[in-house]
Amino acid sequence: MFPIHAEETMQKPDHPYVGMWVTADGHVRHELLPNGRYDEARGNRESAYQGRYEVTGDHIEYWDDTGFTADGDFIDGVLHHAGMILYRRE
């Protein structure tokens, strides 16, 4: 699998990782948008974090608009990111 860059993702909106990812308690809602951007809500705070992302295989890298970076891995259909476990919301 190749990295997903914003311009490539726009052409591949059906990528299996695009969509909403949520913690079991619903507190963190992490949406991977088809344009290579993400929007993360926490509790009642919508759009708490926003930025861009790239996926290489089952690994994801994030660059937040405020300057920090993070990463994660998709393991057996579950996103492990920054100490959290997020599940795909269909």
Full pLDDT tens readout for the chain, 90 residues:
334 444 444 435 568 899 999 999 999 999 999 999 999 999 999 999 999 999 999 999 999 999 999 999 999 999 999 999 999 997
In this prediction the pTM is 0.83
Element (H, E) at 7: helix 6-9
Please name the residue that has the structure tokens 């393991």.
75
Rounded Cα–Cα distance for residues 43 and 8 (Å): 31
